[in-house]
Amino acid sequence: MGQTVFIPRELDANEPRVAASPDTVKRLAALGFDVVVEAGAGAASRIPDEEFAKAGAAIGKAGDVSRADVVLKVRRPSDAELKVYRPGTAVIAIMDPYGNDAGVAALARAGATAFSMEFMPRITRAQSMDVLSSQANLAGYQAVIDAAAEYDRALPMMMTAAGTVPAAKAFIMGVGVAGLQAIATARRLGAVVTATDVRPAAKEQVASLGAKFLAVEDEEFKAAETAGGYAKEMSKEYQAKQAALTAEHIAKQDIVITTALIPGRPAPKLVSAAMVASMKPGSVIVDLAVERGGNVEGAVPGQVVTTANGVKIVGHLNVPGRVAASASLLYARNLYAFLETLVDKATKTLAINRDDELVKATMLTDAGKVVHPAFVRAEQEPPKGQHVEPPAIPAKTMVAEASAKPAAKRPAASRKPKTTGGIA
């Protein structure tokens, strides 16, 4: 009997995604694993138990995790879930460790060998494992669909015998993976699209999609990108000039989509209340960073807020999960691609090489300890009764900031989060 991979049903009510698909179940079985999927795990992603069973999985119950060698999840397991895990279990998921030291420490106490998929390095070898890009791509798409649903007019220009319907004007703030997909989707729907980002390379990317780039293109802007494709923090003077240009532009827009996130930090404020007040009634703003504090003043997580001047601010939670059927298929392939690198092809067993660059970059806990250099402190808790958990950064969407293109290799031990123009 081979080693067991267990795919549980996600317990969070806001999480419809699942960490496997019928395709990856077949692939996991070919690697030599026995695959057990908890009953109902894929229901919210339109994958019935029968499809998993046809692919070769056994349909089990939550308690079956106790015999698993590998657990594939979407979200970090809760304390209650970890109580059933046996020590040494490899857990692969989006761990969302920033601001959640207690959760990281719980993984260590459970003896889990935990891998945080959002730390996957942006190198060519790991492109197929990049959960940030796969999920942010869908978030960018869905942001435009949500905006179109709230906007009570047509997006494309329509010339009819009865008159002309003008094209909607859409402004994308942040040109990472989500921003680029938002541009492409808005263009397909016929909107006139502009976009902004602090990375000079983004200008060419925006133009390639048929949109117009908006930025203060001075000497500081030209030197705003690192060798790895990440944005440098801009001076207060530049930020003021860019804000003035943006404010003037936003007042003329019908749809604004913001995507700016910084790993481990609250989202930067890009759209002020004054900017919102300057927009026309019926305009729509979609804030993809709402779960980390939001880019838009007045955005509320999980709500669509209508301002006094008739502007709708959309703050949906877990935007990739709003297209769960597609998001799960891509996420499952990301997990499979990574797990495959941890398997000895000769013996068809799990054989984690702790010297591998992917393992070093993503391993969060191992052998009862927090091992990722950026989070070692998470296991050093004060005596019982004295522990005060740091303020958590809410993160249900769990997509973080990263360059839109594969970047040069980053040191896995980097403590300081890097800034980029848009989600993933």
- pLDDT confidence of 119, banded at 50, 70, 90? very high
Predicted pLDDT of residue 130: 97
Mean pLDDT over each residue of the chain, to the nearest integer: 88
Active site residue 292: no
Catalytic entry in 127, 235, 303, 414 = 127
292 lies in the same domain as 353: no
Predicted pLDDT of residue 236: 84
Asked whether the beta carbons of 20 and 35 are under 8 A apart, the reply is yes
Task: Decide if pLDDT at 37 tops 70.
Answer: yes
| pLDDT tens per residue across span 216-270 | 888 878 776 655 555 566 788 888 888 899 999 999 999 999 999 877 788 989 9
Predicted pLDDT of residue 24: 98
Q: Cα-flanking dihedrals φ and ψ of residue 422, to 5°?
A: -160, 170
118 lies in the same domain as 173: no
Give a yes or no: residue 231 inside a domain. Answer: yes
Q: What sign does the CA torsion over 136, 140, 145, 148 have?
A: positive
- pLDDT confidence of 151, banded at 50, 70, 90? very high
User: What is the average per-residue pLDDT within 62-82?
Assistant: 97
User: What is the average per-residue pLDDT within 158-184?
Assistant: 96
Active site residue 328: no
109 lies in the same domain as 54: yes
123 lies in the same domain as 185: no
Catalytic entry in 98, 141, 230, 336 = 230
Catalytic entry in 17, 76, 122, 199 = 122
Give a yes or no: residue 410 inside a domain. Answer: no
Task: Decide if pLDDT at 53 tops 80.
Answer: yes
196 lies in the same domain as 93: no
User: What is the average per-residue pLDDT within 131-152?
Assistant: 97
Predicted pLDDT of residue 405: 39
Please tell me the least confidently modeled range out of 58-62, 286-290, 396-400. 396-400
266 lies in the same domain as 345: no
Give a yes or no: residue 405 inside a domain. Answer: no
Neighbours of 398 (CB within 10 A): 23
247 lies in the same domain as 313: yes
288 lies in the same domain as 374: no
Active site residue 235: no
Give a yes or no: residue 354 inside a domain. Answer: yes
Q: Which of 284, 304, 322 is the last residue of a domain?
A: 322
- pLDDT confidence of 418, banded at 50, 70, 90? very low
Domain that holds residue 244: 139-322
Task: Decide if pLDDT at 417 tops 60.
Answer: no
- pLDDT confidence of 276, banded at 50, 70, 90? very high
Q: Identify the CA nearest to 149 among candidates 269, 401, 319.
A: 319
Predicted pLDDT of residue 47: 98
| SS3 category, 157 | coil
79: left (phi over 0), alpha (psi -120 to 50) or beta: alpha
Residue 312's H or E segment, with its range, is strand 312-314
Predicted pLDDT of residue 414: 41
Count structural domains, the chain.
2
Catalytic entry in 45, 133, 142, 253 = 133
317 lies in the same domain as 187: yes
| pLDDT tens per residue across span 326-369 | 999 999 999 999 999 999 999 999 999 999 999 999 999 999 99
Q: What is the CATH number of the domain that holds 315?
A: 3.40.50.720
Q: Give 136 or 264, the one with higher predicted confidence.
A: 136
Give a yes or no: residue 371 inside a domain. Answer: yes
Asked whether the beta carbons of 349 and 319 are under 8 A apart, the reply is no
172 lies in the same domain as 274: yes
| pLDDT tens per residue across span 363-407 | 999 999 999 999 987 555 444 443 333 333 333 333 333 333 344
Percent of the chain with pLDDT over 70: 86
Give a yes or no: residue 215 inside a domain. Answer: yes
33 lies in the same domain as 86: yes
Predicted pLDDT of residue 230: 56
Q: Which of 363, 379, 395 is the last residue of a domain?
A: 379
Active site residue 116: no
Give a yes or no: residue 176 inside a domain. Answer: yes
355 lies in the same domain as 283: no
Predicted pLDDT of residue 409: 42
Give a yes or no: residue 391 inside a domain. Answer: no
Catalytic entry in 130, 254, 287, 366 = 130
For residue 153, give the DSSP letter: S
Active site residue 146: no
